Amino acid sequence: MKDLPVEIQPEMCKVTDALGILVGKWKPVILLHLLNSGTQRFNELKRSLPGITQKMLTNQLRELEEEDIIERKVYAQVPPKVEYSVTEYGRSLEPILHAMHEWGAKHTIHKQSKKHNQAEAK
């Protein structure tokens, strides 16, 4: 998703900013996983996210790190050890994620009852 022109309305752009951080095929899942399970190593995450490629995982983690949502801690060891965790600041997203989860759950029901009504109307 590319950026919107800032001119449109100052207020709107803040929403898109927030959205930008959550957008990406794997970002919400990674975040929720780290919130649930706490600190995780790279390969632990990878194993928990069936289907993700290493490239994507690295890439999404880096983007979240950029925004100070998660933290990356490298241990000077061989084989390497890198731990990821949600920052204190990152936790401020929790209420939003929670609200979205609630809304999403209701929406699933809403769509089903809509379908049902349409079927009845025939």
Partner DNA sequence: ATCCACAGTATCCTTTTCTATACTATACCA
Partner DNA sequence: TGGTATAGTATAGAAAAGGATACTGTGGAT
- Footprint of DNA (CB under 7 A): 1-2, 24-26, 41-44, 51-56, 58, 72, 74, 78-82
Which one, 28 or 83, has the nearer CB to a copy of itself?
A: 28
CB 103 within 8 A of CB 80: no
User: Pattern of binders to a copy of itself over 23-52, x per CB under 8 A?
Assistant: xxxx-xx--xx---------------xxx-
Which one, 81 or 114, has the nearer CB to a copy of itself?
A: 114
> Which two tokens mark 43?
């390969």
Please report how close the Cβ of residue 50 comes to a copy of itself at its closest, in angstroms.
Answer: 7
CA distances in angstroms from 97 to 14, 54, 85, listed in the order given: 16, 25, 17
Residues contacting residue 63 through CB under 8 Å, at least 6 positions apart: 24, 27
